[in-house]
């Protein structure tokens, strides 16, 4: 299996700090902002972002996790049903500025499902999308991220893998060729 | 593994432990969904489900219908009274006519044991058994086990006694299979006339003394006396049944430990269970009803997701 390193632990740190700066620039004191990580793989990034933002601003942002399984448009079209993760949103998003966070933006279908799933928790004032790795030219729906960590050109046969030190000891972002 | 090994839910006998665990995990997320302000998800948006009830039902029918609607399925309801069944149409013809209207799944209750198994051999749609005569009632058994898991933190190693009319009860049979599969010990308790003669061969204990049974168990699942199925008299009077096998407050208070009281409904208050027990802090009867919707959502979701 061929692997190419896109981001190592150090550059990931730098990227996360930059994304936090961008959020601070747009959200000021975050008085009306909440962070929602997409289950399962956006959760770790959302937690990192909240930690880093707290170091930088001294504020603890409300954080929730959203599972989109039941809102996906490929149910009954794939080999087997997807197993859902837990949705934990301990606040109402009515009138809030929501920052959706996921690790990789590929076809855009998960984000479409997330926008749909979010309506169960109220009508947000605004929704932004923050993505660690944006795979360019591969969208199936017209969805674009507001904040991007890194843009990469990839093939359909490749896969982007994000490893977090929480479960993999070190932070690394890989581009993997799937065929081998 | 994230799919069931079977295309239909005909009985607990057709499932294994992994299947039940998967239904539990899926039901956990659906229980979360039905406790939100907006209780609906769009998963089964393009699925049509027929609820075909040849026998009366309140709870199960409502529970299935609500589960289907919470998953955004299209629902049609059919009950045998006031239908062509009364004009002499066969079961297969009735169902084939319903399927000709492009129905994807069938939820069926029938008074004949094996009716859903017969259908499964003849039609393509997914079939869910919502009770077939005195045979099985799989979703009830799964929700009962789910309620025990929720209340006591697990099913494995727990002692469960099923009290009452075991002979005519599909809930009892499905419960025995499901609980044993999950590693619980099962006892049945009731008048000797209402306990099938060779039930011990299923690996369950048999007890005729209600006090001893309750003293032994962690959970008591109290069943209704099914007078409508009883062709002959199995005990002298309801009053006598209630005296010897009814679960009342004095009996529960006399036990050395706390037990959990369950009942699949409908309750005949004052016969198999008194109001002060059914409404007490020991009882999880209404939680069972709530869990029923989550379990049925999980079963529908997992079966519909199979191509």
Res. A179 pLDDT band, cuts 50 70 90: low
H-state helical runs in chain A:
9-27, 43-57, 109-118, 165-168
**DSSP E strands, chain A:** 3-8, 33-38, 63-66, 97-105, 126-136, 147-153, 158-163, 172-177
Test A75 with B305 for CB contact under 8 angstroms. yes
A180: tokens are 């081998």
Q: Is residue A81 scored above 90 in pLDDT?
A: no
| Interchain CB contact of A74 with B (< 8 Å) | no
Q: What residues contact residue A76 under an 8 Å CB cut-off, 6+ apart?
A: B46, B47, B304, B305, B307
pLDDT at A134: 95
| Interchain CB contact of A79 with B (< 8 Å) | yes
Least confident of A165-174, B98-107, B246-255, B263-272: A165-174
CATH at residue A42: 3.40.50.2020
- The residue-averaged pLDDT of A13-20 equals 95
Q: Is residue A138 scored above 80 in pLDDT?
A: yes
**Cα separation of B171 and B151, whole Å?**
20
Q: Is residue B9 scored above 90 in pLDDT?
A: yes
- A79 CB neighbour count, 10 Å cutoff: 9
Q: pLDDT (tens digit, 9 = 90+) per residue, A45-54?
A: 999 999 999 9
Res. B307 pLDDT band, cuts 50 70 90: low
pLDDT at B98: 86
Q: pLDDT (tens digit, 9 = 90+) per residue, B82-110?
A: 676 777 888 888 888 888 888 999 999 99
Q: Is residue A180 scored above 60 in pLDDT?
A: no
**Cα separation of B278 and B9, whole Å?**
30
Maximum pairwise Cα distance, chain B: 59
Test A86 with B302 for CB contact under 8 angstroms. no
pLDDT at B225: 86
- The residue-averaged pLDDT of A51-80 equals 90
- Per-residue burial over B76-108, b if 16 or more Cβ lie within 10 Å, else e, is eebbbeeeebeeeeebeebbeebbeeebbbbbb
Chain Cα centroid distance, residue B84: 28
Q: What residues contact residue A159 under an 8 Å CB cut-off, 6+ apart?
A: A175, A176, A178
pLDDT at B1: 59
**Cα separation of B190 and A93, whole Å?**
54
Q: pLDDT (tens digit, 9 = 90+) per residue, A82-108?
A: 888 888 888 889 999 999 999 999 999
Do residues A8 and A171 make contact, with C-beta atoms less than 8 angstroms apart? yes
Residues of B in contact with A75 (CB under 8 A): 43-44, 304-305
Res. A77 pLDDT band, cuts 50 70 90: confident
**Cα separation of A169 and B222, whole Å?**
52
Is the residue at A120 inside a domain? yes
Minimal Cβ distance to A71: which of B28, B36, B41? B41
**A-chain residue closest to B303, CA distance:** A81
Is the residue at A96 inside a domain? yes
pLDDT at A178: 77
pLDDT at B306: 77
Domain count, chain A: 1
Does the CA dihedral A73-A78-A81-A85 come out positive or negative?
negative
| pTM metric for this prediction | 0.87
pLDDT at B76: 93
Do residues B144 and B160 make contact, with C-beta atoms less than 8 angstroms apart? no
Is the residue at A163 inside a domain? no
Q: How far is B193 from chain A (nearest CA, A)?
A: 46
CA distances from B200 to A17, B128, B176 (A): 67, 28, 11
Q: Is residue A157 scored above 60 in pLDDT?
A: yes
Q: Is residue B209 scored above 60 in pLDDT?
A: yes
Left if phi > 0, otherwise alpha if psi is -120 to 50, otherwise beta: which for B305? Answer: alpha
Q: Is residue B178 scored above 70 in pLDDT?
A: yes
Test A80 with B305 for CB contact under 8 angstroms. yes
DSSP A115: H
pLDDT at A137: 93
What mean pLDDT is reported for chain A? 91
* Predicted-assembly ipTM surpassing the 0.85 threshold: no
Q: What residues contact residue B77 under an 8 Å CB cut-off, 6+ apart?
A: B50, B51, B53, B61, B65
Q: pLDDT (tens digit, 9 = 90+) per residue, A121-136?
A: 889 999 999 999 999 9
Is the residue at A40 inside a domain? yes
Is the residue at A78 inside a domain? no
Res. B232 pLDDT band, cuts 50 70 90: confident
Residues of A in contact with B301 (CB under 8 A): 70, 81
What mean pLDDT is reported for chain B? 92
**Cα separation of B244 and B192, whole Å?**
12
Res. B78 pLDDT band, cuts 50 70 90: confident
- The residue-averaged pLDDT of B213-221 equals 96
Which contacts (CB < 8 Å, 24+ apart) does range A23-32 have?
Answer: A23/A49, A23/A53, A23/A99, A23/A130, A23/A147, A24/A53, A24/A56, A24/A57, A26/A128, A27/A97, A27/A99, A29/A57, A29/A59, A30/A57, A30/A59, A30/A61, A32/A95, A32/A96, A32/A97, A32/A125
CA distances from A110 to A102, A136, A179, B71 (A): 9, 16, 24, 19
More confident site: B92 or B23: B23
- The residue-averaged pLDDT of B169-184 equals 96
Do residues A97 and A34 make contact, with C-beta atoms less than 8 angstroms apart? yes
Domain extent at residue A118: 10-72+85-152
Report the percent of chain B where pLDDT is more than 70: 98
- Per-residue burial over B110-136, b if 16 or more Cβ lie within 10 Å, else e, is beebebbbbbbeebebbbbbbbbbbbb
Domains of chain B in start order, with CATH, are 12-136+289-304 (3.40.50.1370), 138-284 (3.40.50.1370)
B21: tokens are 């665990």
Is the residue at A172 inside a domain? no
Minimal Cβ distance to A86: which of B32, B36, B302? B32
């Amino acid at each position: 299996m061929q692997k190419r390193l896109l981001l190592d632990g150090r550059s990931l740190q730098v990227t996360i700090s930059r994304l936090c700066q961008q959020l601070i620039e747009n959200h000021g004191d975050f008085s009306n902002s909440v962070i929602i990580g997409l289950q399962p793989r956006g959760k770790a990034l959302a937690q990192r972002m909240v930690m880093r933002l707290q170091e930088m601003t001294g504020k603890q942002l409300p954080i929730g996790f959203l599972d989109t399984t039941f809102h996906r448009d490929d149910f009954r079209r794939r080999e087997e049903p997807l197993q859902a993760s837990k949705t934990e949103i301990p606040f109402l998003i009515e009138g809030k500025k929501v920052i959706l966070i996921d690790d990789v933006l590929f076809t855009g279908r998960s984000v479409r499902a997330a926008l749909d799933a979010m309506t169960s928790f109220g009508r947000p004032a605004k929704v932004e999308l923050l993505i660690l790795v944006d795979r360019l030219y591969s969208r199936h729906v017209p969805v674009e991220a507001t904040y991007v960590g890194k843009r990469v050109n990839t093939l359909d046969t490749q896969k982007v893998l994000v490893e977090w030190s929480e479960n993999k000891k070190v932070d690394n972002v890989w581009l993997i060729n799937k065929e081998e | 593994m994230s799919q069931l090994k079977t295309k239909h839910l005909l009985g607990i006998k057709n499932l294994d432990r992994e299947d039940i665990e998967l239904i539990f995990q899926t039901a956990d997320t659906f229980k979360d969904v039905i406790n939100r302000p907006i209780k609906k998800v769009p998963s089964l948006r393009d699925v049509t489900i027929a609820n075909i009830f040849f026998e009366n039902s309140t709870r199960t029918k409502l529970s299935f219908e609500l589960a289907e609607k919470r998953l955004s399925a299209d629902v049609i309801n059919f009950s045998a009274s006031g239908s062509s069944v009364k004009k002499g149409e066969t079961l297969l013809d009735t169902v084939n006519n319903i399927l000709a209207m492009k129905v994807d799944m069938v939820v069926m209750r029938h008074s004949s044991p094996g009716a859903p198994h017969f259908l499964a051999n003849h039609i393509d749609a997914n079939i869910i058994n919502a009770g077939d005569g005195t045979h099985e009632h799989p979703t009830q058994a799964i929700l009962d086990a789910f309620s025990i898991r929720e209340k006591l933190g697990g099913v494995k190693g727990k002692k469960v006694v099923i009290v009452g009319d075991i002979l005519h009860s599909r809930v009892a049979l499905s419960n025995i299979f499901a609980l044993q599969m999950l590693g619980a010990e099962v006892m049945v308790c009731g008048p000797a006339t209402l306990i099938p003669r060779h039930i011990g061969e299923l690996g369950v204990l048999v007890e005729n003394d209600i006090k001893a049974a309750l003293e032994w168990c962690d959970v008591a699942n109290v069943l209704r006396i099914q007078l409508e199925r009883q062709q002959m008299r199995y005990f002298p009077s309801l009053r006598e049944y209630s005296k010897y096998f009814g679960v009342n407050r004095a009996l529960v208070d006399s036990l050395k430990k706390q037990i959990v009281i369950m009942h699949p409904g409908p309750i005949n208050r004052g016969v198999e269970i008194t109001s002060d027990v059914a409404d007490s802090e020991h009882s999880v009867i209404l939680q069972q009803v709530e869990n029923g919707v989550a379990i049925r959502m999980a079963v529908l979701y997992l079966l519909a997701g199979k191509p």
